[in-house]
Structure 1
Amino acid sequence: LAFGEDLTDALLRAMTFMIVASPCAVVLATMPPLLSAIANAGRHGVLVKSAVAMERLGEIDAAALDKTGTLTEGTPEVTAVRPLPGSGLDEDALLALAAAAEHPSEHPLARAVVAAAHARGLPLAPVTDFTAVPGRGVTAAVEGAVVTVGRAEAAEAADGGTVVRVTRDGTPVGTLTLTDRLRHDAPAAASALASLTGTAPVLLTGDNAHTAARVATATGLTDIRSGLLPEDKVNAVRDLQAAGRKVLFVGDGVNDAPALAAAHAGIAMGRAGSDLALETADAVVVRDELAAVPAVVRLSRTARRLVLQNLVIAGTAITGLVLWDLLGHLPLPLGVAGHEGSTVLVGLNGLRLLRESAWRSGQPQHR
C-alpha cells in the first residue's frame, strides 16, 4: 500500500506471505521421525519413554555395561556351598541360613540363593529387621542371630563365579559361589556398540576381578572395572563424561539405578530388571535381548538424520516461497499448495521410520 499498490492485490500478497511464512513444516520436522522411531522400537520390544529420550540415544559416543543381568542372563545358580570349619554348619544349614536372610530381597543373586534352598527342600526361618545395602548385601535377624550375606572382598572362585560371604553375629560361617551364563548375543551386541560409538564398551561391575575378566574375555571387552559399588559406577560414568563423552549405560539392578540416572542415556534390561532401574532408565528392553540396545541406538540416529533432512526441506521451501512472494508475484493458490505440500512432505518423510528396520542383520526380529 505504501508503494501505491492496489488494496486487493496488497491484501492477497499479504495473505500469501502469511501462509508461506508459517513454520508448520518446521514444527512437523521433528516429531514424526521421533514418534515413528518410538513406535518402531516398541514393536520390537524396546519401550522408549519419550521423544527426548529417543533423541538422546542417538547422541551417545561411549557405552558402559553392567555384568549381571546385562551381559549375562541374570539367572545365576548356586554352584558351591562351603561352610567354614568350626562354624557348626553343614552345607544345608549354611544355605538355609543365607536363603532366609536373602528371602525378602529382589536381587538376582538373592533369588538364586532362595531357589537353591527350595530345590533342596530346606525350610526357611522367618526374618526381622531386614536391611539391603545396594552393592554390599543384606542383613537380617534370623532366629535371634544377625545374619549378613554380602560381597566377599578378596575371595575368588576358581571357575569365575560370584562369591558371597555369610556371617552370623559378625563371624564368617561360610561362602556361596554362584555362576551365571553369558547371553548368546552379548559379543555381537558389544561389537555393534563399539562400531556405533567408535570405542569398545566399558564393563562396570560389582563382581570380583576374576569373574569380570572371564565375562569380558568372552564378550571381547578390554576396559574392565570390577569390585564397584553403586557410587563407583556413577563416578566411572561421570569420569567418561568429564572426558567429553556422551555415555550410554546399560544395566538392570538397584545397584545400576544411580548410574542410569547419571548417564547421558540409560537403558534397562526389563525381564529381570528392578523396579528402580526400570523407572530410572530412558528406555527398557522388554524382550531381554541385548542386541536390541545397538539396534535402538541405530534407529535413533536414523531418526535424527530424518529430522535434519526435514529441517532442510522445510527451511528451503519456506525461504523459496517467501522470496518468491516478496520479489515477484506468487499466486495465492500456488503459495497454499507449496506450504501444504512441504508440510505433508516432511510428515511423510518422518513416517518412513515406521517401516525402517534397524533390527535386521543380526538384530532382534519381531516374534
Structure 2
Amino acid sequence: MTPPRAPAVVQDRVLPRPPSVLATGLKLPEVRWALAALVLFLLGWGLQLSGAPAPLWWSLYLACYATGGWEPALAGLRALREKTLDVDLLMIVAAIAAASIGQVFDGALLIVIFATSGALEVVVTQRTADSVDSLLNLAPEQATLLHGDGTTTTVASRELEPGERILVRPGERIGGDGTVVDGTSEVDQQAITGESVPVVRGVGDEVLSGTVNGTGTLTVQVTRPASASVIARIATLVEEASETKARTQLFIEKVEQTYSFGVVVATLLVLAVPMLFFGHAFEDALLRAIVFMIVASPCAVVLSTMPPLLASIANAGRHGVLVKSATVMEGIGRTTVVAFDKTGTLTEGAPEVTDIGPMTGHGADTVLALAAAVEHYSEHPLGRAIVRAAAERGLPLQEVTGFRALPGLGVVGRVDGSTVTVERGAADSSTTGTLVQVRRDGSLIGTITLTDRLRPDAPAAVRAAAGLTGAPAVLLTGDNPAAAATVAERTGIGTVHASLLPPDKVALVTGLEARGERVLLVGDGINDAPALAAASTGAAMGRRGSDLALDTADVIIVRDELGSVANLVRLSRRARRYVIANLAVAATVITVLVTWDLVATLPLALAVAGHEGSTVLVALNGARLLRRSAWEA
C-alpha cells in the first residue's frame, strides 16, 4: 500500500505582505491632503472649461490652495524662521501672487505638483520603515529552551542569551544565531544567505535566526543575543543605508536656495526701485512686481523636469517596471556599474536536473525513475526537481513503501522489493552543482546533478547592461563559489564575489561607490535589501522579491524580465536629455520675459501667455517619452 504523503516541512520564507502603497498612503495625512487638493483642482478646472460661473470654480481653486498648500507653507515658514528659503515658500508666494491678478489656475497647478511630490516621498519613507519592522518578525517570537536536566520551557526568542541551548524541531524556525551541538538536519537559509537549496547542518556548524529547519531535530547553542543576530543587523543596515544614501537631487533642488532667495530679492527690488528712484505709483510698481514674480516663478522649470521623468516612469510602468520617484528615474541614467544577485535574480531559485550519470549496467531512466519514486514523498526542493524531471521524460512513478526521511542525508523507501536510498550531497568544484547519489540495496547505481536554473534572458541582459555602462557586470551572491562561477561563466559576468552575508554585500557596494562608481544593483531577497539601499539604484525582482527588498529598492521589475534593466538605463538617459533641453527653453523664456518686464512694460496678458506657452511647450516635449519607441530604442 502506498504510504500517505509526508507532512510538508514549513518553509514560509516570505514575510506577510504589508498593505499596498495606496492603502499605506491613505493612512497618512500628507497623502489625504494631496488627494483632496488634486480632486478640488480637477473639479475647478472642469467647471472653468465648461463655462460655469467664475465664483464657483474660483472657490474650488481656493479650496485647493488651502488643502494642498498649508503644509508647504508651514514648512516654508519654519525654514524662514531658521533663516533659510526654499522652493516651497516661493511656490506659495507665487501661487498667491498669481491668484491676486486673476491667474488662480496657475497657482493651483503649482500647489498640486508640490503637494503630490511631497506625499509620494512620505509614502515611500513610511513603507520602508514598516518593512524594516516586519523583517524582525522573520525570527520566531518563541523558542524552546533546553535545560541541563533535559527539560524544556518555552521562552521569548528576544530573551535568549549566549550560552543557552535551544531545541529546534522539524519545520520550525531557528530562534537565535548559534552553533549546532547535537543533531543533523537540512536548513533553508535562502532568505538570509541566498543559497538556492537547503544546506546540511550538523555538530559544529553555524545556524542563523529565522532560517527554517528541515526534517531533523537540532540542539543549538546560542552565540549572539537577539539584538546582534544577523536579522537584526540586516534591519540596522537597511535603516542606516537608507538614511545616509546620497540622494540624487533634481536640478530645481540643487539651486533651490539660490533661486528662491534671488527671486524674492529681485521681486522686492522691482517693487521698491521704481517708487524710490523713478517716482512710480505704488499700484504700478506692485503690478510690475507681480508680473515679475509670475514670469520668474519656476513653473516652466518645474515642468521642464517633471513631465519627462513622469512620462518615463509611466512608460517603464507600462513595460512592467515600477520606478518609485522622479529622482530615481533621473539618477538611473548615471549608472556606471550593474551588479546582480544570483539566486532568484539571474537564476530562478529552483534547481533542475542537468545531468544523470548511471553506473555500468544501469540506464539513466532507471536511475531517475527510482529516485523520483522515493522523492515523490519529499518536500525538499531537490526532490521536487527530480520528480519534475521524471515527469518531463514521461517516466511513471512506482509504488513506494516504508518511506523515511534521513535528516541531513536524504530519503529512503522500498521500490519493487528493493531498498532505494537517495543521498543528497553538496556542491563542489567538480560538479558545479548539487550531486545526488542513488543506491539500490546499498549499491550505487547512478548520480544525478542538479543546478539552479538560469533565467533564459540572463546572458543577454548581462551583455546589454555591460554594453551600456562600458564596465563588466558584477555578481554578488551568498551561494558557494562553484555555483557562482558557473552562473558567471554562462552569463558572461566578469567579476564574482561569492559566499557573502548581507554586510559583505553592503561593503562591496559602498566600496564601489566610494571609488566614484554609481552602482545599479539587481536583487530579490532579504539578504539583498541592505545592499539595495546602499547602491545608487536598487532594483528588486517583483515576483520573487521579499517585502523588505521590494520596499527598500528604488525600482521593482514586476515581471522579472532582466532585459528591462538595460532599457530602463537607456530611457533614463533619454529623459535627462529631454530635461536639459526643456531647461534651456524655460530659462530662455524666463530670461526674455524678465528682461522685458525690467527694461520696458510687459503687458500682463503677454506675460501670462509667454509663461503659460513655455510651460505647455516643455510639458508636451516631455510627454514624447510616453511613446513605445522611447523604451525600445
Q: TM-score range by the shorter chain?
A: 0.7 to 0.9
Cα displacement (A) at 1:271: 2.3
Distance between the aligned counterparts of 2:372 and 2:562, measured in 1? 36
- What residue in structure 2 maps to residue 194 of structure 1? 466
The reply to whether residue 320 of structure 1 matches residue 595 of structure 2 is no
Shift of 1:195: 2.4
Q: Deviations over 1:157-209 (max 9, x none)?
A: 52x22569xxxxxxxxxx99531333332222212212222211111222333
| Unpaired runs of at least 5, structure 1 | 83-89, 103-109, 127-137, 140-149, 165-174, 362-367
Paired position in structure 1 for 2:478: 206
Change (3 A) 1:113 1:315: farther
Aligned to 2:627: 355
Q: 1:283-298 alignment to 2 at 5 Å?
A: 283-298=555-570
Q: Report the count of equivalent residues.
A: 314
Structure 1 residues 1-367: aligned runs within 5 Å:
1-2=275-276, 3-5=278-280, 10-77=285-352, 110=381, 113=383, 116=386, 152=426, 155-158=428-431, 160-162=432-434, 178-355=450-627, 357-360=629-632
TM-score, structure 1 as length reference: 0.73
Q: Distance in 2 between matches of 1:205 and 1:350?
A: 39
Contact 2:353/2:449, CA 8 A, preserved across alignment: yes
2:350 is paired with a residue whose SS is coil
Tell which deviates more after alignment, 258-267 or 112-121.
112-121
CA contact (8 A) 1:156 1:163 kept: no
Distance apart, 1:248 and its partner CA: 0.8
| 8 Å contact kept, 1:203–1:223 | yes
Cα distance 1:323–1:180, how it changes in 2: closer, same or farther (>3 A)? same
> 1:68 is paired with a residue of what secondary structure?
helix
Distance 2:458 2:525 in 1: 18
State the SS of the aligned residue for 2:556: strand
**What is the SS of the residue equivalent to 1:75?**
strand
Identity value in percent: 60
Q: Is the 8 A contact 2:351 2:385 kept in 1?
A: no
Cα distance in 1, alignment partners of residues 350 and 544 from structure 2: 8
Which piece of structure 1 moves more, 222-231 or 34-43? 222-231
1:21 partner letter? A
Q: Measure, in 2, the Cα distance between the counterparts of 1:186 and 1:43.
A: 21
Greater gyration radius: 2
Q: Give the secondary-structure state (helix, strand or coil) at the position aligned to 2:454.
A: coil
**1:146 maps to which residue?**
none
Q: Contact 1:81 / 1:94 at 8 angstroms: preserved in 2?
A: no
SS class of match (1:206): coil
Residue identity in the other structure for 1:68: T
RMSD (CA atoms): 3.6
Normalising by the residue count of structure 2, what TM-score does the alignment of the two structures yield? 0.44
Letter in 2 for 1:273: G
What is the rounded CA distance, in whole Å, between the counterparts of 1:14 and 1:247 in structure 2? Answer: 46
Aligned to 1:131: none
Q: Matched residues in 2 for 1:68 and 1:190: separation?
A: 15
Quickly say closer, same or farther: Cα 1:206–1:269, change in 2 above 3 A. Answer: same
* In 1, Cα distance between equivalents of 2:586 and 2:403: 67
Flag structure 2 segments of 5+ consecutive residues without an equivalent. 1-274, 358-369, 392-396, 409-423, 437-446
> Which protein has greater RCO, CA pairs closer than 8 Å, 6+ apart?
1
1:44 Cα offset (Å): 0.3
- Partners of 2:586 and 2:522 lie apart in 1 by 36
1:280 shift after superposition? 2.1
